[in-house]
Amino acid sequence: MSRHRSGPQRIVCLTEEPTEVLYALGEEDRIVGISGFTVRPPRARKDKPKVSAFTSAKIGEILKLEPDFVVGFSDIQADIAAELIRHGVEVWIANHRSVPGILDYIERLGALVGVSERAAAYAGTLRAGLERIERDAASLARRPRVYFEEWDDPQISGIGWVSELIGIAGGDDVFPECAASSLAKGRILADPGEVIRRAPDIILGSWCGKKFRPEKVAARPGWELIPAVRDGQLHEVKSPIILQPGPAALTDGVNEIARIIRAWAMQLPNANTTPQSSRSRRSHRCALR
């Protein structure tokens, strides 16, 4: 490993997003350990030892790797961070909860490893991609109402950056006030009947690693009245591409949501009519469990 490179040389990533960012920046050789939940990029699972889950970590195994920097996410990993700090390891716990926050995270991580310009360019490319999707969405004849379900029992609505990405892709989150919550308990739907009343045109499911079952959703009492259920607009968005606050959500995740919305729009009567004159724009913040 080159000695003249600046920044940390032996990095452990406790979640997937720093791994994905460092690979995208061409700095993957700095990574000495990753989360067992990492699936992006696929070769990371083959190349790097897995030393953590999300709420737990193999502290001894991490220390054997002699990291000079550990990157984690949110208060959920506070105990892991504290234990490593007590062993003299430098730890950075990011806490971004929005699309702008993800882009800023990429630039900050790049700066920490001494590749600020490369990280800024990468973030700029991602930002441009989001702007293209948003411009394309402006041509929709109507914006669909979208219910995003992160978990089914209890029912939990979409996290903040997901709500924002729905908006960028051309939809309107039916639970924006929940997306603004700083904790998942603030996104639990106390009354599932509220989904019926808000009448989403599209239901997106991403059950945090568990397979989404549209037939079970459609069978919920009274849900046959929901336009999305009536029209068969229940779709899974795989968790790895939307529930991680990293590049995947800003690329594959938002593109999948945009694809679903475009397909829905093409089925509307007079689908090629003039687009809406006004569009709702929201900014949300929220937290993981």
Do 66 and 195 lie in one domain? The reply is no
In a domain, 259, yes or no: yes
Residues 81, 146, single domain; the answer is no
Q: What is the mean pLDDT of residues 199-210?
A: 95
pLDDT band at 117 (very low <50, low <70, confident <90, very high): very high
Distances (CA, A) of 231 to 143, 238, 262, 267, 268: 16, 21, 15, 10, 11
Residues 74 and 14 grouped into a single domain:
yes
Tally of structural domains, the chain: 2
**Owning domain of residue 80:** 1-95
Lowest mean per-residue pLDDT among 84-88, 257-261, 279-283: 279-283
For 213-255, how does the pLDDT look when each residue is reduced to its tens digit (9 = 90+)?
999 999 999 999 999 999 999 999 999 999 999 999 999 999 9
pLDDT at 4: 66
pLDDT at 273 (0 to 100): 46
- Whether residue 216 is contained in a domain is answered as yes
pLDDT for 284 beyond 90: no
Query: In this predicted model, what pLDDT tens digit does every residue of 38-89 receive, in sequence order?
Result: 999 999 999 999 999 989 999 999 999 999 999 999 999 999 999 999 999 9
Residue 180 pLDDT greater than 70, yes or no = yes
Q: Give me 72's structure tokens.
A: 């984690």
Q: At what angle do helices 16-24 and 99-112 cross, to 10 degrees?
A: 60
Instruction: Determine the pLDDT at residue 64.
Output: 98
| 8-state DSSP, 38 | -
147-179 in b/e form (b: 16+ CB < 10 A) is bbbbbbeebbbbbbbbbbbbbbbbbbbbbbebb
Residue 25: the pLDDT is 98
Are 237 and 205 in contact by the 8 Å Cβ rule? The answer is: yes
Q: Do 74 and 172 belong to one domain?
A: no
- CATH no. for residue 55? 3.40.50.1980
The pLDDT tens digits of the residues spanning 148-176 come to: 999 999 999 999 999 999 999 999 999 99
The predicted structure's pLDDT at residue 271:
60
- Residue 199: CB atoms within 10 A of its CB come to 14
Q: Is the domain of 87 the same as that of 133?
A: no
Of the three residues 95, 111, 146, the one that is the final residue of a domain is: 95
Do residues 168 and 57 both lie within one domain?
no
